[in-house]
Amino acid sequence: MQYYEDLVVGTVSRYGHYEVTREEVIAFASKYDPQAFHLDDEAAAATHFGRLSASGWHTASMVMAMTVAHLKANSQAGLGSPGIDELRWVRPVYPGDTLRCENVLLEKRRSKTKPERGLIRGETRVFNQHDELVMSMKALGMIATRDPAGTD
């Protein structure tokens, strides 16, 4: 299990492989973001996207799926997240794209009121198969400490 004490500020993690499908783009948009450029080829072609594109919220959800798989594979003692400071959709994501993530741990500190947890802040950058940045976010996380009485 990977705890707060095991994390090193500046560490870069590279993970994920997510193939974006047309069916999933339309299904997600139909339920959560039913704008024409996420649902209809003809309507999308008439926009600045030029073709059917994934919702930014769908992109964020794909990133979450890759992130959780990565955390599980590394047995991180995660406790959830109190939020996101910054989220940017830099380029459209299209059916046929393959996404991957890079995360850098920006900072960490022990909770002042809950010594059994640490607080971390990281930046995740998401790239397509052409190594083009499509999304970035700075997020907060909570992780269990191995030793609540420890210091750092």
Per-residue pLDDT of the chain (152 residues; tens, 9 = 90+): 999 999 999 999 999 999 999 999 999 999 999 999 999 999 999 999 999 999 999 999 999 999 999 999 989 999 999 999 999 999 999 999 999 999 999 999 999 999 999 999 999 999 999 999 999 999 999 999 998 887 77
Give the Cα-Cα-Cα angle 134, 82, 76 (nearest 5 degrees).
80
pLDDT for residue 11: 97
Burial class (CB in 10 A: 0-12, 13-18, 19+), 4: buried
Nearest to 44 by CA among 57, 32, 35: 35
Select the CATH number that applies to the domain covering 4-20+55-144 from these four: 3.10.129.10, 2.60.40.420, 1.10.3720.10, 3.90.420.10.
3.10.129.10
pTM for this predicted structure: 0.93
On whether the CB atoms of residues 34 and 44 are closer than 8 A, the answer is: no
Amino acid at 139: A
pLDDT for residue 47: 96
